[in-house]
Structure 1
């Protein structure tokens, strides 16, 4: 396994920890491919029912490692960086049939911010901050930043953040609806663990269908979405977890979902 990430598996939850703290977990080619590989592995592993993406050290991810793009011997070119590094990561995050929790432990800038925002649930430490840093070096938001950010916080605010590159702290990010919640730094790891374990204990099939339905909702009209909900609800109702959930409700006990 690449040293650019650390992987931990516990309680049906896989944690992918970006591990280049000396450069604030900025992405190079090796780390991008390592993240893709683990996301692919966990997407098809029946023993993994939730995924956490976080960073080591003080930062979540500072985006692209600029040393890579300024060194002629290392620079793969922007076309490769986008089409081989970041775009596949975003696609894997959205297509993985399991909930992915972004645990933003520190600064999330550039592609790092947008990778986090593409996840199903985003939580942050109170010391975290989100920065659309692209305009500061003459670039545009990538990694689906122009897709998800306006849908999360509205066109006007997203436009301003993308153009001005303002830093948004965790409290403001929650207020804007950019993230689900922020937690005090001292409680952050415990809260992330509790949330991840809760996701891992839930009916995975239903969560996967919910995720897919939300993906379609980004582009469907109402009639298309209603038809899709009918299709997915019928599929969910045929799952073992639905049978268990109804039985547990009738018997007034806690359900024991198997993710099937």
Structure 2
């Protein structure tokens, strides 16, 4: 299969992982890190911190607790002297379906919950923006909403052939969040980014490779045998050179990211409290109650 962008033909299959040409290498055993995490598994593989979203029953949708756990896991990795690289991934064939909107039922005052949403979101996004370690996303299956945001904030993204990316914010009556209005035009080009953000369309794995959102497509069956040994080899590069290179790559766009975050949060503050979003959330929560909690295809 091939795809074309700006008149340049990109052979998708030629850029996929060459399974027959890669030599299998032993991977360092994993060690679970302490922290009392509930929505995440946090482990160490040699110089790699692996953060896994693990709410598989809801396709790894995140609650506010998950936000705080992720902030803490990134902070721990930042101050570790043995970790050079952080990998974010999801359990059971999905990266993350976004925010778990059903969590609003747990709060006596949902309006108060929504009013501080932008503050909590800002903490999470800034944890990614200021993280000095190499951030890698390994995406399988659904990568929606805040999941898409997390992947876009990483330095390098890899995905399986089953992965897809989606930002259905406008379908719920709100605007994009987490710097997506800056990141996606930079990464994909303005027109493709506008299609994704305005209409909530899906970006397939092949399209993500064609538009340079992902570095490589990895067969799901080859993750353990090939991906982890190769990444561990990368992660053993000198910490000082990795940090200096990331610092140079990140310095130019940090101000733009922070400006985008501030502008998005300003719009979200009123949109989240508006009637359109409130009705969309109410309809979603009621539908989930009728379905017994089965996750819909689109979450934020």
Q: Tell me the TM-score normalised to structure 1 length.
A: 0.79
Q: Secondary structure at the match of 1:140?
A: coil
Superposed structure 1 runs of 4+ greater than 6 Å apart: none
Matched, 1:151 2:186: yes
Q: Secondary structure at the match of 1:59?
A: coil
1:5–1:19 Cα contact (<8 Å) kept: yes
Query: How far is the alpha carbon of 1:144 from its aligned partner?
Result: 1.4
Query: How far is the alpha carbon of 1:219 from its aligned partner?
Result: 6.4
What is the alpha-carbon distance in structure 1 between the residues aligned to residue 226 and residue 187 of structure 2?
23
Instruction: Select 1:179's aligned residue among 194, 205, 214.
Output: 214
Q: Tell me the TM-score normalised to structure 2 length.
A: 0.69
Matched, 1:99 2:95: no
Matched, 1:218 2:272: no
Gaps of at least 5 residues in structure 2 are 1-35, 256-300
Instruction: Select 1:108's aligned residue among 118, 143, 163.
Output: 143
Cross-structure match for 2:233: 198
Query: How far is the alpha carbon of 1:91 from its aligned partner?
Result: 1.8
2:129–2:254 Cα contact (<8 Å) kept: no
Instruction: Select 2:114's aligned residue among 60, 75, 78.
Output: 78
2:218–2:227 Cα contact (<8 Å) kept: no
What is the alpha-carbon distance in structure 1 between the residues aligned to residue 225 and residue 126 of structure 2?
29
Query: How far is the alpha carbon of 1:39 from its aligned partner?
Result: 0.5
Higher mean C-alpha displacement, 210-219 vs 171-180: 210-219
Matched, 1:53 2:91: no
1:60–1:104 Cα contact (<8 Å) kept: yes
Matched, 1:129 2:173: no
Label 1:165 to 1:21 Cα distance change in 2 as closer, same or farther (>3 A).
same
Aligned length: 219
What is the alpha-carbon distance in structure 2 between the residues aligned to residue 107 and residue 194 of structure 1?
24
What is the alpha-carbon distance in structure 2 between the residues aligned to residue 219 and residue 36 of structure 1?
18
1:49–1:199 Cα contact (<8 Å) kept: no
Cross-structure match for 2:103: 68
Structure with bigger RCO (C-alpha 8 Å, 6+ apart): 2
2:107–2:113 Cα contact (<8 Å) kept: no
Query: How far is the alpha carbon of 1:74 from its aligned partner?
Result: 7.2
1:51–1:196 Cα contact (<8 Å) kept: no
What is the alpha-carbon distance in structure 1 between the residues aligned to residue 88 and residue 157 of structure 2?
10
